[in-house]
Structure 1
Amino acid sequence: MIISRTPFRLSFFGGGTDYPQWYRQHGGAVLSTSFDKYCYITCRELPPFFDHRYRIAYSRVENAKNIDQIEHPAVRAILGEMGFEYGLEIHVDADLPARSGLGSSSSFTVGLLNALSALRGLRVSQDWLAREAIRIEQEVIQEHVGSQDQIAAAYGGFNMIHFLQDGGLKVEPVILPGERKRQLNDHLMLFFTGFSRIASEVAKSQLANLDNMTDELCRMRNMVDEALDILSSGKDIRAFGELLHVAWNFKKSLSNQVSTGQIDGLYDAGRKAGAIGGKLLGAGGGGFMLLFVAPDKQASVRRALHNLIYVPFQFETTGSQVIYYQP
């Protein structure tokens, strides 16, 4: 039996510049971190006593006699690409719900690649996990997804991720004093809006309008450098929250599917209660909302958003790992 553990991510700035259609022309970059909420994948060879050869348990349970019968697109694609010929049992557990803006789909893809590679006795690199997950999602499944979530899940940590015009990727760890990083963590609050969505569908509407968003996306890319300057120069940390607010307004201009009237109402309520800035995580449309709030204002924000689930968290640095190995 093999168990992999893969973190979810928080993306602060640069989202949208990680789509190949964009960065192969203009380059791109994002600022993101993984945090201590995870996707766990357990897999083992299935004993030959069943009518089915594959059993996959996630939000539903699938029993299939061959790979083509598997309905979960990532599982079907990965098993097909890796050429598994013997039966498998795969169980998925997660600390937070799917389709919520935390890169959960990519955490799943990375975690499954890691677990199945270990089941074959292979120790794979973070770079391979990230690149293979990108290939599976973009080329095999052909989802409308960017390239940042797979990298954040594979590598973990607080990083500036560069997307090069030649298709290359570069992961640059953000170097900050521990106290400064803790200060940032202490100013962040995570709330579940209760609205789930399919990120690739929201992203599709943005990609359709990509040629008309050059100025907006260039500005969003530049915010990555501005945010790093705020953190590394010792400026008032509140400037990071103010920049998040600017970025959120830019992001909403990219597509009418990024936000809704209900989400705008929740965000405004948080701001009135003391939040300096924030954003919906992921492509938008629902899921988790990240707010930047001074510690002395956080009780007020929690009261204002008392109908939402509040999720405390800490940054993490491990990336995807095999945490149990008994082949």
Structure 2
Amino acid sequence: MIVRSRAPLRLGLAGGGTDVSPFCDLHGGYVMNVTIDKYAYATIDDNGSDSVEFHAQDADVSQCMAPDEVDLAAGPLQLMKGVYRRISEDYLSGARPAIRIRSSSDAPPGSGLGSSSTMVVALVTAFAEYFGLALGEYEIAHLACRIERGDLALSGGKQDQYAAAFGGFNFMEFYEAERVVVNPLRIKEWIWSELEASIVLYFTGVSRSSAKIIDEQARNVRHGQSDSVDAMHRLKSEAVQMKEALLRGDFKRLAAVMQAGWVAKKQMAASITNPMIDELEALAFDNGARAAKVSGAGGGGFMMFLCDPAERVRLVRALSTAGGSVYNTHFTSHGASAWKSG
């Protein structure tokens, strides 16, 4: 039996960072995001031996070992190994099956589109299908968070896992004790289309480690650094405003909220922006952009710009001269899915 799965990557529209502990535990966090037609993929099948095989196809790294030798060492195979061990312990009574696991993604690690967390969701979804586990969206996302933040001790928030599991436009609430509430939004078709036409997604060509940025952000909250904490409260408020602007189709307010959110986000940690990002932002505003932000933790990866659709071509041409790549993208309404093949 062969099982395949895919889970969509996401764009953070507002509130990103308020889903990270300890802020969300102390104050509650709000995030507004949407999934896009870029995916993380996983395949599981019987490898015909008594070993377990891991293959991270993007990195072209593979390893074959005895099931009881699977470790959690850092590297391209860590996410797959983490999912394998947690599923084995929690759902297979400790039995470690002899299988082959392969993964790939439409976006590189450090892109800011939630690629690592989305990969964990794709892997958990594939395991659930392969072993017949009755896991809903909340269970899949919670398990993915537990693996990343607990078992693997990787820094980060929770929005990526829930976005990948649920799909579509979602307003998310994050509270202490790992309580999460996902509110799917019914976006009118014309608003959906207008926003798609207004967004320009640009890859800077520079991947970055989100962990250092997130760790700096968390330290600022723990130490009560007022500028950082106040900025996060503004981001939380702007997530609510973004939700309202989307539901009403108020694009002038939407652009203003996105830009205000980016200004606030830059105050959360010094490493969120840099001269390259500042120059790209200035170039974009000189060529029709109404709002700009870095997707994800910051520091590099993908940038997102909002413009009048009539100015899109001019903006794309300008950005294409800056050394990165413009990506065409569309929103998706569905979250992670899995199916049997053969």
Shared topology, TM-score over 0.5?
yes
Pair 1:320-2:336 in alignment: yes
Cα gap change, 1:53 to 1:305, in 2 (>3 Å): same
- Aligned partner of 2:149 in structure 1 is 138
If the length of structure 2 is used for normalisation, what is the TM-score?
A: 0.90
- Aligned partner of 2:294 in structure 1 is 280
Pair 1:129-2:128 in alignment: no
Q: Percent identity?
A: 28
Pair 1:262-2:273 in alignment: no
**Distance (Å, rounded) in 2 between the aligned partners of 1:260 and 1:269:** 14
Cα gap change, 1:217 to 1:57, in 2 (>3 Å): closer
Structure 2 portions without partners, runs of 5+? 89-94
| Counterpart contact for 1:54–1:67, Cα < 8 Å | no
- Aligned partner of 1:61 in structure 2 is 61
Cα gap change, 1:216 to 1:3, in 2 (>3 Å): same
Deviation at 1:166, TM superposition (A): 4.5
| Counterpart contact for 1:5–1:323, Cα < 8 Å | no
Matched residue pairs, number?
Answer: 323
Q: Name the stretch that deviates more: 75-84 or 275-284.
A: 75-84
CA deviation map 1:95-116 (0-9, x unaligned): 2222100000011001101111
If the length of structure 1 is used for normalisation, what is the TM-score?
A: 0.94
- Aligned partner of 1:98 in structure 2 is 109
**Distance (Å, rounded) in 2 between the aligned partners of 1:96 and 1:47:** 31
- Aligned partner of 1:85 in structure 2 is 96
**Distance (Å, rounded) in 1 between the aligned partners of 2:216 and 2:118:** 23
- Aligned partner of 2:241 in structure 1 is 226
Runs (4+) of structure 1 exceeding 4 A deviation are none
**Distance (Å, rounded) in 1 between the aligned partners of 2:249 and 2:217:** 35
- Aligned partner of 2:43 in structure 1 is 42
What amino acid is the match of 2:54?
A: R
State the secondary structure of the residue aligned to 1:291: strand
**Distance (Å, rounded) in 1 between the aligned partners of 2:265 and 2:185:** 23
Q: Name the stretch that deviates more: 25-34 or 242-251.
A: 242-251
1:308 to 321, 324, 332: 324
Cα gap change, 1:55 to 1:147, in 2 (>3 Å): closer
- Aligned partner of 2:10 in structure 1 is 9
**Distance (Å, rounded) in 1 between the aligned partners of 2:177 and 2:159:** 16
Pair 1:243-2:257 in alignment: yes
Cα gap change, 1:191 to 1:204, in 2 (>3 Å): same
| Counterpart contact for 2:3–2:45, Cα < 8 Å | yes
